[in-house]
Amino acid sequence: MGSKTDFISSVMSAMSNCTLYSEQHPIVKELNDKAFSSIGQLYRDGVVSITLLGDSLIFNEEQMSEKGLHVEKFISRLRRRGIDKVIIRSGVSGGELLGFIAGMAGKRDLQSTSNISLGIVEIGQTTESVAAKALAAENVERLRRLFEGIRGMHPLDMSCLDDIVSELINTLRNEANVLKVISPIRAHDEYTFIHATNVALLTIFQAESGGITGDLLFEIGFAALLHDIGKMFVPETLLDKKGGLTAEEWDVMRTHPVAGARYLSGLRNVPRLALIAAYEHHMSFDGTGYPDSGRKKKGQHLVSQMVAIADFFDALRTNRPYRKSVEIAEIRCMMAAGAGRQFSAPLVAHFWQSLEALQGGSE
């Protein structure tokens, strides 16, 4: 009984590590071997069959009654990849299983092989982008629950945040053009959460196109996702205010970098980069901006510099109640004007060159 869940747990752990690193990474190999050895006891007449039926997972004709976290994640991963059936035959090799895991992790094309048959419900460009949109909406909802939980003093769910960051990294691997995956704001009160995922995507994009991979890329995504977490300590009436803010209200709003860094410093397992980006993202490259502190002498951290570029871009391209979104060409001029003072000049150049390379390459 336990071995079905063991199998799914090893597959899911291999998959998340494959998303973060590569399918050649030793931990992925180790987890794949574990999955491969646990499947040995599961064959029935030489076949393991896994079927997705609504919210249930039917494993060898039996519904899995206990759905732990890994089973839940496996179900949602199958759904996102448009797969409703997986048949694994006993002749399967470790390499074939790894191919399936890498395909589910978005690292390879997902297709049936001689011993693994996949029932694929939907394939093709349109459904992929529908799936990407559904995924983005789901992440925004998850982030809303997490962030709003902070107001209610709930602990921050790190594994859920890890999951969101992995999915954002994955989204960019499947759709390289970051401008196609950043979401528009649908409702006024969603701004904070959509902005957080957009800034994370735009920062991951800068880092990855600059050659950053693995753990560091993940930590940078994590830091960008949480850059405005201090806003959860600003009264909602200010965040949701439809008109411009008064001078006093701006003073309150400007406390969010310090509040965010303070909050994160009290948590375990938060990458240090997250504290730094929360604290510094409204500092300018030349040390001006806020909060005003002795840190100026040290200069703004490279990750905060990338977050600041992403933050500026996303804030301006978004329609807000008090102003319309700014054209991309105009944002480019504004950033160029601030290069060397507000922003790092090489990073601004890198950001626009990377965007241009995408536009030229994909269309």
Could you tell me the smallest distance in angstroms from the CB atom of residue 277 to Fe ion? 10
Nearer to Fe ion, 228 or 280 (CB): 228
Of 176 and 253, which CB lies nearer to Fe ion in the complex structure? 253
Q: What residue type is 155 in one-letter code?
A: P
Closest to Fe ion by CB, 208 vs 228, is: 228
Measured from the CB atom, the residue of 73 and 256 that comes closer to Fe ion is: 256
C-alpha–C-alpha distance, residues 233 and 345, integer Å = 32
CA atoms of 26 and 12, how far apart (whole Å): 16
Nearest CB to Fe ion, comparing residues 22 and 255: 255
Three-state SS at 320: strand
Coil vs helix vs strand at 154: coil
Report the residue number, 31 or 196, with the smaller CB distance to Fe ion.
196
Stretch that binds Fe ion, among 161-169, 212-220, 223-231, 336-344 (CB under 5 A): 223-231
φ, ψ at 53 (rounded to 5°): -130, 100
Q: How far is the CB of 294 from Fe ion (least distance, A)?
A: 21
Strand residues in the chain grouped as ranges (E): 47-53, 56-59, 62-63, 83-89, 116-120
Least distance to Fe ion from the beta carbon of 327, Å?
Answer: 20
Backbone angles phi, psi at 50, to 5 degrees: -125, 125
- What DSSP state is assigned to residue 116? E
CA quadruple 109, 111, 113, 115: dihedral sign: positive
For Fe ion (CB under 5 A), the number of binding residues is 2
Work out which of 6, 23, 163, 228 binds Fe ion, going by CB under 5 A: 228
Span of 89-97, 106-114, 202-210, 307-315 interacting with Fe ion by CB under 5 A = 307-315
* Least distance from Fe ion to the Cβ atom of residue 246, Å: 18
Q: Which helix (H) or strand (E) holds 84?
A: strand 83-89
Strand order in the sheet with 56-59: 62-63, 56-59, 47-53, 83-89, 116-120
Distance CA 17, CA 248 (A): 47
| Beta carbon of residue 49, minimum distance to Fe ion (angstroms, whole number) | 47
Q: What gap in Å lies between CA 205 and CA 207, rounded to an integer?
A: 6
Minimum CB distance to Fe ion smaller for 77 or for 231? 231
CA 333/CA 336 separation, integer angstroms: 5
CB of 15 to Fe ion, least distance (A): 31
Cβ contact 192:150 at 8 Å:
no
Distance of CA 38 to the CA centre of its chain: 30
Residue 344 CB, shortest distance to Fe ion, in Å, is 17
Least separation in angstroms between residue 326's CB and Fe ion is 16
**Residue positions counted in the chain:** 363
Candidates 108-116, 173-181, 305-313, 348-356; binding stretch for Fe ion (CB under 5 A): 305-313
Indicate the SS3 state at residue 2: helix
Q: How far apart are CA 217 and CA 215, in angstroms?
A: 5
**Residues in 69-98 at the binding interface with Fe ion, rule: CB under 5 A:** none
Taking contact as CB under 5 A, which single stretch among the options 112-120, 133-141, 227-235, 285-293 is the one that binds Fe ion?
227-235
| Site stretch for Fe ion (CB under 5 A), options 10-18, 29-37, 221-229, 298-306 | 221-229
User: Smaller CB distance to Fe ion: residue 101 or 309?
Assistant: 309
- DSSP-derived letter for residue 209 is H
Which residue among 311, 317, 343, 351 contacts Fe ion (CB under 5 A)?
Answer: 311
Hunting for tokens 């190999």 — which residue is that? 29
> Cβ closer to Fe ion: 280 or 311?
311
**Considering the complex, what minimum distance in angstroms separates the CB of residue 307 from Fe ion?**
8
Q: Does 6 bind Fe ion (CB under 5 A)?
A: no
CB of 269 to Fe ion, least distance (A): 23
52 versus 201: smaller Cβ distance to Fe ion: 201
Binding residues vs Fe ion (CB under 5 A) = 228, 311
